[in-house]
């Protein structure tokens, strides 16, 4: 028995502390209840001062009837139509710079279209040859890099591409 106590001393100590705090909380709750009861008795026994108690209604008040008729059309506000979404020309760009930005964006759109075509062709080619070796495929992909992917292998070029996309692309609120 003594060995058990020494082996599990930490657990027994935690249980003892928890039990002591539970006893203390019970004692404090009991003292608080006694104090509140004593305070109530003192308030009731004070002579000359009326104790204010608000009467509690036994039935809640009835609900008001709301007319079901819609308001006349002359009181209704006109329907709201959102303004057309136009991307204003950034004020910090000159006309020359803005034209360059538009050219870069157009080039970016063309590259996206060509990338989609390349991916579709690649998928079709993979579907035609299902029994290829995975290791051979990964080696082939590493050796044949397009100019775009080769440029994005460089960390500086990748960072520049991301910044250009954020600055020149659609606003975050309008992205899908």
Residue pLDDT, tens place only, 86-126: 766 666 656 677 788 888 999 999 999 999 999 999 888 88
- What confidence tier does 82 reach under pLDDT thresholds 50, 70, 90? confident
pLDDT above 80 for 51: no
Asked if 147 and 155 touch (Cβ cutoff 8 Å), the reply is: no
pLDDT score recorded for residue 155:
83
Top pLDDT among 125 and 79 is at 125
pTM of the model: 0.25
Average pLDDT, the chain: 78
Residue pLDDT, tens place only, 149-164: 777 777 888 888 888 8
Name the nearest CA neighbour of 160 among 148, 173, 170.
148
pLDDT score recorded for residue 57:
65
- What confidence tier does 7 reach under pLDDT thresholds 50, 70, 90? confident
Residue 96 region by backbone torsions, left for phi larger than 0, else alpha for psi between -120 and 50, else beta: alpha
- What confidence tier does 18 reach under pLDDT thresholds 50, 70, 90? very high
């Amino acid at each position: 028995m003594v060995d058990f106590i020494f082996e599990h001393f930490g657990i027994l100590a935690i249980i003892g502390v928890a039990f002591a705090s539970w006893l203390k909380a019970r004692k404090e709750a009991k003292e608080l209840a006694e104090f509140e009861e004593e305070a109530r008795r003192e308030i009731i026994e004070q002579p000359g001062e009326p104790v204010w108690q608000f009467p509690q209604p036994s039935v809640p008040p009835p609900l008001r009837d709301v007319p079901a008729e819609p308001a006349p059309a002359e009181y209704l506000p006109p329907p709201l139509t959102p303004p057309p979404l136009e991307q204003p020309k950034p004020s910090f760009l000159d006309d020359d710079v803005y034209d360059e930005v538009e050219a870069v964006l157009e080039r970016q759109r063309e590259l996206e279209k060509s990338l989609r075509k390349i991916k579709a062709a690649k998928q079709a080619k993979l579907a035609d040859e299902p029994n290829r070796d995975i290791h051979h495929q990964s080696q082939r992909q590493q050796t044949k890099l397009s100019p775009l992917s080769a440029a994005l292998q460089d960390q500086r070029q990748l960072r520049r591409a991301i910044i250009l996309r954020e600055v020149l692309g659609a606003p975050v609120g309008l992205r899908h």
